[in-house]
Amino acid sequence: MGRYVVRRLLQAIPVLLGTTFLIFALVYALPGDPIQALAGDRAVDPIFRATMREMFHLDDPLIVQYGYYVQGIFTGDFGMTFRGVPVSTIFEGKFQVTLNLALMALVIEAIVGVGLGLIAALRRGKAADTAILAFTLLLVSVPTLVSGFVLQLVLGVQLKTSTGIDFFPVAGTSEGWRSYLLPGLVLAGTSIAYLTRLTRTSLMETLRADYVRTAIAKGMPRRRVLGRHALRNSLIPLVTYLGADLGALMSGAVITETIFNLNGIGRQLFDSVYLSENSVVVGIVTVLVLIFIAANLIVDLLYAVLDPRIRYE
Amino acid sequence: MKNPSVDTHLLPADSGTIGTEPLLAVDNLHVEFTTRQGVVRAVNGVSYALNAGETLAVLGESGSGKSVTAQAIMGILDMPPARVPKGEIRFRGTDLLKLSENQRSQIRGQQIAMIFQDALSALNPVFTVGWQIAEMFRVHKGMSKKDSYTKAIELMDRVRIPAARQRVNDYPHQFSGGMRQRIMIAMSIALDPDLLIADEPTTALDVTVQAQIMELLAELQRDSNMGLILITHDLGVVADVADKIAVMYGGRIVENAPVHDIYRNPAHPYTKGLLESIPRVDMKGQELYAIKGLPPNLLDMPTGCAFHPRCPFRQDNCVTDVPALHAISGTRSSACHYWREVLDGTAG
Ligand SMILES: Nc1ncnc2c1ncn2[C@@H]1O[C@H](COP(=O)(O)OP(=O)(O)O)[C@@H](O)[C@H]1O
Ligand code: SF4
Ligand SMILES: [Mg+2]
C-alpha cells in the first residue's frame, strides 16, 4: 500500500511536467506583449522594455524559459509577476477560498445527487422518478449566471425580507462555512444532475445483480437488502466521479466566484490571463494539476476500501 | 434489523406428515412476464410435489421455465414484470401465494433455501464469506457477531472447506469455483431448511468438482431429511440422486414420474428424446441436442401440443388439442395424447 502510494506520486511527476509545459507553451503563444500590457495604451520606454525582457528571460527559447520556471517550482518559488509581486503573495488565501467552495459544492453534490439518484432508482418509473429526471434536465440547462442570481435573490434576499431568516450570505466569505452554501449549490448544479443520473443507473444495475437476488432468497429484510447488500456496490462508480469532479469544480468556479464576490483562484486566473501575467496563470494551473492528481490518488485508495477485489501491492 | 419472531415457525412443523399433504405441492402454477414484445407465459400450469427427504429432479431444455418456477416458490420473482395469475404453491399445506410479503420473508432462507448456478455472481463481492454466512444467524436468530462467526466456521467445516477458520474472512473471489459453491451451500443450509432448491448447482463447474458437489448435497440431504429440488439438464446426475423427475417443456410439465420408471420406459416423446440423446463428455455443460428443432417461442407458442413441431409421433389432433397431464398411475403422469402408445413402443 505504502509502496503503491510512492509509486503513484513518482508517476505524477511526468504528468505534472507535461501539463505545466503545455500550459506554459499555450500562455507563451497568447497574442500580445505582456510588457506593453503593463503600460496600457501609453508607449513603453525601450530601455525599460529591454530590462524587463532580460529579467523575465522573454527572449530565450520557450524550453529555456520553462527550465527556469521548473527550477523555481522545485525550490517552492512560483516566480514574480511583471508588476513585481511574488506569485505566492497573489495566491495567498485564494486557493483556500476556491478549495472551500469546491468542497462545499462536492458535499452538496454528494448529498443531493446520491440522495435523488437513490430515490429515483427505488421509485423507477413512478412519478418521483420522472420528476427527478426532469429536474436534472432543468439543472443542466440553466446557466450558472441565471441560477446564481436567482438563488441570491430568492434564498438570500427574499427569504430574509419575508421571514427574517438570514442564513444564506450572498457575497464574500465573512460568514465562515455558511458563506459557501449558496455559491456551493450554484457551482454544484450540473454535477448534481450528472451524479443523480449516475447514482440512479448504478443502483438500478446493482439491484439486478445476482447477489441481491441471493440476499432476498436468504430472507433478508428489504431495508437490509438495499442498505447493506446493494448500496455499497452501487457507490463504487460514484466515488470515481466525485474524485474527478473536485478538480473540475475548482477550475470551473470563475463565474460563481464572480457572482458571489468570492476572492478565489478562478477570478484570479481570469484576471491574470487578461493581463498576460504568465507566471500566475502557469502557477495556478500547476497547483490545480497537483490537486487533481491528489484527488485521483485518494479515489484509487478509496476504491480498494470499497471493493476488496482491488488490491494495491 | 433483528427479527422479532425468530423461532416462530409460521407453519406447524409436523403438518408435512399429516394425511397425504406433501412437503411442497406446486399446483397448476402460471407465471407470466410483461415485456415490450408482449406477455411471455414462462410457466403454464406446472404441477409437481415433493415429500420431506425426497429429491425431485426438474429436467428440461434451457428456457423451459425451470428457474422461473423455482423463483416463484422462493418468492424472489420481480413483480412486475412477473405476475402469477393462477396456481397454488402449498408448503406444508399452506398456500405461499396467499401469504404477505413479510410472512414469506420469514420462510425464505429459514424454511426454504436456494442455491444458484453461478456462485461467483451470487455471492456479494464486497463482503467476506464469513460475513455472508454469519448474516443468516445474526438477522434471523439475533445472534452476536462472535457466535455467528463461530457458526459460520462450523458450517464451512461441514461443507468441507479446508482451513475454514483461516478462510472465514476471505472474499468470494479468493476461492475456487467449487469452494464458492460450497460456501453457497453452507449459507443455504445454515438454518436447517426443510426444502432446498438447487438451480443447476454444478453447471458452472468442471466435471470432477461437479461430482463432489452433488455428493455433498446428497449427503447433507440424507443427514437432515430435507426435501431437495434439483434443477438440472444433466441426465447422468439425475439417475444417481433423484427419487423422481419432473420433465418440463415450454413452461409445462410433460412428464412426472419416479426416476426408475422414466429410465426404464418414458411416457412422453420429449422424455424419450432426452434419454436418447447420447451424453458426451466433450459436450458437458451444453444443452441436450439430440432432439431436432428449436425450443418453442414463448411469445408465439405452437397450437395444440407445444412439442408437436418436433415430435416424431405427431398425429393430426396434436396440432389442435392441448394434451392434459394424464395420470398413468398414482405416481406417474404424462402430457401426451398417445402416452399409451409411447409406453408400449407402438407409437409413430
Ligand atoms: N425477467 C424476465 N422477463 C421476461 N422473461 C423472462 C424473465 N425471466 C425469465 N423469462 C423467460 O422465461 C422463460 C423461462 O426461463 P427460465 O425459467 O429461466 O428457464 P430455464 O428452464 O432455463 O431455467 C425464458 O424463456 C425467459 O425468456
Ligand atoms: S401430444 Fe402428440 S405431439 Fe405432443 S408429444 Fe404426444 S404425440 Fe407428440
Ligand atoms: Mg435456469
Nearest 5°: CA angle at B322, between B316 and B326? Answer: 105
Rounded CA separation A113/A185 (Å):
11
Q: What ipTM does this complex have?
A: 0.85
With a 6 Å cutoff on the Cβ, whether B73 touches ligand 1 is no
Rounded CA separation B30/B87 (Å):
6
**Contact across the interface for B124 and A220, Cβ inside 8 Å:** no
Q: What is the pTM of this model?
A: 0.79
Q: Give the residue, by CA position, lying nearest to ligand 2 atom 1.
A: B336
Rounded CA separation A11/A69 (Å):
20
Each residue of B143-190: pLDDT tens digit? 999 999 999 999 999 899 999 899 999 999 999 988 999 999 999 999
Strand-pair partners of A252: none
Q: How confident is the model at residue B348 (pLDDT cuts 50, 70, 90)?
A: low
Taking CA atoms, what residue in A is nearest to B71?
A: A217
Please identify, by atom number, the ligand 1 atom nearest to the C-alpha of residue B31.
12
Q: Which residue has the cell 442564513?
A: A167
Residue B287, pLDDT above cutoff 70: no
Please identify, by atom number, the ligand 2 atom nearest to the C-alpha of residue B318.
2
Rounded CA separation B157/A131 (Å):
52
Worst-scoring range by mean pLDDT, A168-177, B136-145, B295-304, B318-327? A168-177
Number of domains within chain A: 1
Each residue of A54-96: pLDDT tens digit? 777 777 788 888 888 888 877 878 777 777 788 888 888 888 8
Worst-scoring range by mean pLDDT, A158-167, B191-200, B214-223? A158-167
Structural domain spans, chain B: 22-242, 257-344
Taking the centre of ligand 3 as the mean of its atom positions, its distance from the CA of residue B250, in whole angstroms, is 13
End-to-end CA distance of chain B: 61
* A232 closest CB neighbour out of B109, B126, B136: B126
Taking the centre of ligand 1 as the mean of its atom positions, its distance from the CA of residue B324, in whole angstroms, is 23
With a 6 Å cutoff on the Cβ, whether B249 touches ligand 1 is no
Taking the centre of ligand 2 as the mean of its atom positions, its distance from the CA of residue B236, in whole angstroms, is 25
pLDDT, residue B181, reads 92
Q: What's the CATH superfamily of B22-242?
A: P-loop containing nucleotide triphosphate hydrolases (3.40.50.300)
Q: What is the 3-state secondary structure (H, E, C) of A29-93?
A: HCCCCHHHHHHCCCCCCHHHHHHHHHHCCCCCCHHHHHHHHHHHHHCCCCCECCCCCEHHHHHCC
Contact between A97 and A262 (Cβ < 8 Å): yes
Q: How confident is the model at residue B294 (pLDDT cuts 50, 70, 90)?
A: confident
Which residue among B33, B58, B59, B253 is best mutated to probe the pocket of ligand 1, counting the most ligand atoms within 8 A of its Cβ?
Answer: B33
In a domain, A276, yes or no: no
In a domain, A249, yes or no: yes
Q: Does any CB of chain A come closer than 8 Å to the CB of residue B180?
A: no
The CATH number for A101's domain is 1.10.3720.10
Q: How confident is the model at residue B283 (pLDDT cuts 50, 70, 90)?
A: low
State the residue range of the domain holding A111: 94-263
φ, ψ (nearest 5 deg) of residue B83: -145, 145
